[in-house]
């Protein structure tokens, strides 16, 4: 039985050419176009991340504004109710003062 071991002589010239091309691409510096595309991708990714963070912040601010406006409306309503009570007391005072004036009068 004759066992055949692969040697450099057994490798086809086409295979050697493919191997040379792969090694050349691995050893070659990156192309300018590839570097530019990678740079653009990194910038775009940074912007997307910042926009996502802004959305989160804006959503939180929106909720704070809605809460604050609700609180302001509640306080204005209470202030209006107090104003109504003050006016009622002033009217009562005027009525009492008129009655005292009539009696004293």
Q: Where are the domains of the chain?
A: 31-104
Show the low-confidence residues of the chain (pLDDT under 50): 1, 4, 6, 8
> Per residue, what are the HEC states of the chain?
CCCCCCCHHHCCHHHHHHHHHHHHHHHCCCCHHHHHHHHHHHHHHHHHHHHHHHHHHHHHHHHHHHHHHHHHHHHHHHHHHHHHHHHHHHHHHHHHHHHHHHHHC
Whether the model pTM is above 0.95: no
> What pLDDT score was predicted for residue 11?
64
> What pLDDT score was predicted for residue 12?
78
> What pLDDT score was predicted for residue 80?
98
């Amino acid at each position: 039985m004759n066992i055949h071991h692969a040697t450099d002589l057994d490798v086809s010239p086409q295979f050697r050419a493919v191997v040379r091309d792969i090694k050349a691409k691995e050893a070659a510096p990156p192309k300018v176009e590839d570097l530019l595309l990678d740079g653009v991708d990194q910038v775009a990714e940074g912007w997307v991340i910042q926009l996502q963070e802004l959305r989160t912040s804006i959503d939180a601010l929106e909720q704070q504004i809605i809460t604050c406006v609700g609180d302001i409306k509640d306080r204005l309503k209470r202030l209006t109710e107090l104003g109504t009570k003050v006016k009622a007391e002033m009217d009562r005072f005027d009525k009492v003062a008129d009655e005292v004036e009539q009696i004293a009068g």
